[in-house]
Amino acid sequence: MAKQSRGLIAYHMGVTTLTLGSVLNVILLLLRIGDYGLELKIANGLLLVFAVDYVIRLGITKNRKIFLIQSAFDLLGIIPLHPVFAFFRLARLVRLIRFHHLFWRLGLSGKWTQAYHRFIYQTGFIYLFSISVVIIVISAFLFSLTEKQSLANALWWAITTATTVGYGDETPHTAFGKIIASFLMVGGIGFIGLLTSTISDFVASRTEQATTNQEAQQQADLDRLLTKIDTLTTKVDHLQTQVDRLTPAKKNKHQKRPRPKS
């Protein structure tokens, strides 16, 4: 068991190193810093490593449905359409942090991870986002084939079309390309609209919940203050009653004292 635990930790450390290395390599690749050819080979090699890792994990998992849902960003991270998809691999680091309870070990609150899990899964964000990316990727791939464009240009066209930006620098010229664009306009815009509304609803609900919690806390503090005031008032009334009882007794005592003889 100890060997298995050490092996798992070593595997996760290796995944973390490769993930950070792949992201750094993509940044250098996009900024054209260093040897572009070497960085492109490294990016392709890491893509192959992560693809093999994904297939192996999919094969040995007991519940593939749960795996596909939780590893949706891992799948996006091995799309060979553009090196920028490597940034999706960072989501795996978040899962590793939650798996090893690093926030708890460092004495940090787990509210952030709970909010992350609630936003990604409970709101359906992961499903809408995955479907939107799939529509964009498939449309870009087909556009690249029909319009004889590079994958990078096709992906740029698909993103600008799906987000209704439409710069017009890349446009379909063939009939099949226009059909692809039509499907992308209807399906992509619809899902991206749902994606945007999901984010807006989540932010609004969190704001409303925070406001409600603050008002509830203020009301609770006010109730405790009123309770203390009532308790203090009762004690003061009781003390006043005792003082009122002692005052006549003192007067009678003074009256019964014999007067000194002259």
In a 10 Å sphere around its CB, with 0-12 CB exposed, 13-18 middle and 19+ buried, how is residue 3 labelled?
exposed
Nearest to 124 by CA among 27, 195, 58, 181: 195
Q: Per-residue pLDDT averaged across 213-223, rounded?
A: 82
Q: Which of 83, 201, 53, 70 is nearest to 130 (CA)?
A: 70
pLDDT value of position 41: 93
Residues 7 and 13: their CA atoms lie apart, in Å, by 10
> Range with the lowest mean pLDDT among 18-22, 161-165, 176-180, 203-207?
203-207
Integer Cα distance of 167 and 84 in angstroms:
21
The runs of H, that is alpha helices, within 61-188 are 64-70, 72-76, 90-99, 102-105, 111-117, 125-147, 151-162, 175-183
Q: Is the pLDDT of residue 1 over 70?
A: no
* pLDDT at site 108: 57
Round to whole Å and give the CA distance between 192 and 198.
10
Tokens 């899964």 correspond to what residue? Answer: 121
| Percent of all residues in the chain with a pLDDT value above 70, rounded to a whole number | 86
> Which is higher by pLDDT, 46 or 202?
46
167 contacts 160 by C-beta, under 8 angstroms:
yes
The more confidently predicted of residues 103 and 9 is 9
**Residue with tokens 């940044």, as numbered in its chain:** 27
Please tell me the number of Cα atoms within 13 Å of 121 on its side-chain side. Answer: 14
What predicted TM-score, i.e. pTM, was given to this entire model? 0.62
Give whichever of 63-67, 93-97, 202-206 has the largest mean pLDDT.
63-67
Amino acid at the residue 12: H
Distance CA 88, CA 110 (A): 23
Return d(Cα 234, Cα 238) in angstroms, integer: 6
pLDDT for the residue numbered 24: 94
Higher pLDDT, 45 or 205: 45
- CA 202 to each of CA 42, 117, 167, 196, 260: distance values in angstroms, whole numbers, following the listed order: 38, 12, 30, 10, 89
The one-letter code for the residue type at 17 is: T
Looking at residue 257, its pLDDT comes to 55
Q: What is the C-alpha to C-alpha distance for residues 42 and 53, in angstroms, rounded to an integer?
A: 16
The predicted model gives 142-153 an average pLDDT of: 88
